[in-house]
A = this chain, B = another copy of it.
Amino acid sequence: MGQVAWKGLFLSLFDYKTEKYVIAKNKKVGILYRIVQLSILAYLVGWVFVVKKGYQDTDTSLQSSVITKLKGVAFTNTSELGERLWDVADYVIPPQGENVFFVMTNLIVTPNQKQATCPESDSIPDALCYADGDCPAGEAVVAGNGVKTGRCLKDRDNIRGTCEILAWCPVEKRYKPKRPLLGSAENFTIYIKNSIRFPKFKFSKMNVLATSNESYLKSCRYSEEHPYCPIFLLGSIVRWAGSNFQEMALEGGVIGIQIEWNCDLDKAPSECNPHYSFSRLDNKFAEKSVSSGYNFRFAKYYQDANGVDYRTLIKAYGIRFDVMVNGKAGKFNIIPTIINIGSGLALMGAGAFFCDLVLLYLIKKSNFYRGKKYEEVKSTSRKSLNSPTHNGNQSPEQLGGL
């Protein structure tokens, strides 16, 4: 091609090519198309942008740090333990104040256990015996407390006894308390300090408002009237989770304290506030199943004057609180905005496609419109019929394509 041709090709790059439209003066399809357009627009603006905030980039992986601090004392007077006062160091496990903590509300104490031999608890099926042969030496009692020594211990005239075991003796008595020992834990308070950070947006906040005066923070209790007070009454938490504190204190359980941060970072930071909710996490429906309640055993170890170890075994029932923080922050971002607008526009094309179907195949004069919309060309002998038309005479160099 010559220089002139190249120049023409280059110039044709800046010709504007616009799609040729056929105006079908059919009011029915026209109105239908406008309705479809309006619906898509309404959906895009109303639902995607206003309700779902489709113009925002979201961050759901927040970093969270929780500090908890319990307050309260309880007084008990039982035949076993005598008069005893329980304070924070006694009933909170672990003591560090992390996001998961346990408040002991009931306990079975087995004091002065030593490494020795003693009869196994008779409530364990595997330990029942009629003769020494039922207790093979060295075998661990299934779901029991120790290892069989080979002897079957019987009370006086009984024909049935229990195997002698090597264990921390005496073994724990298997009984369930009738009422919770530390029922007054209902009045304990818990102070929850939660600081969060959305790493994607580098946004940090605490649930303890910076503006609150100190005396308010010391005396307030969280409730619907005080939604931003970080101090909670244990009894209220359990009630809000739909359980009864005294029942739960007896058998134990797990309560989830959900803190939800749902932040629109396009607004002021002060509008980003925590929302608390409470739920019971252990299976409260299966009343007597193995899956209800919450307890665990731990021991305090001592040594007597001769250096012999002994321990106090405690089976602790109580309420474990799991402070679970989750959140979502949204902030304007051009990419999701464009993805959503782009999808909306593509949807317009789908609407046009649907209206085309109506125009070309469903209405009375569809034949006519089909003929107008589609212009048949065929580069054969029928050329004489179709051309020379007034629009077939461009030189190829003038067409930049695209």
Contacts and interface: CB of A to CB of B under 8 A. Distances in A.
A291 B209 CA distance: 10
A398 to B, nearest CB: 7
Given A289-B217, A320-B96, A375-B372, A303 B302 contact: yes
A67 B318 CA distance: 13
A173 B371 CA distance: 98
Given A346-B343, A399-B374, A67 B394 contact: no
B21 A73 contact: no
Contacts of A328: 61
Contact of A98 (B23, B100, B374): B100
Contacts of A16: 23-24, 26, 29-30, 32-33, 355, 359
Given A75-B166, A208-B283, A376-B391, 20 more contacts: A15-B24, A15-B27, A19-B352, A25-B377, A25-B378, A65-B281, A67-B294, A67-B320, A84-B115, A85-B147, A87-B297, A94-B96, A193-B282, A193-B291, A217-B289, A218-B290, A339-B340, A342-B345, A360-B399, A360-B401
Interface secondary structure of A, over-half rule:
mixed
Contacts of A389: 390
A373 B18 CA distance: 7
Interface in A62-89: 63, 65, 67, 69, 71-75, 82-85, 87-89
**Top 10 closest A-B pairs, CB basis?**
A342-B343, A342-B346, A14-B30, A95-B298, A375-B391, A89-B299, A16-B30, A65-B281, A16-B29, A371-B392
Contacts of A393: 371, 376
Interface stretch (A151-159, A233-241, A252-260, A265-273): A252-260
Interface residues of A, number: 162
Most chain B Cβ neighbours within 10 Å, of A65, A298, A324:
A65
A278 interface: no
A50 interface: no
Interface stretch (A138-146, A221-229, A243-251): A138-146
A242 interface: no
A73 B147 contact: yes
B401 A390 contact: no
B356 A349 contact: no
Interface string A208-223: 1010001001100000
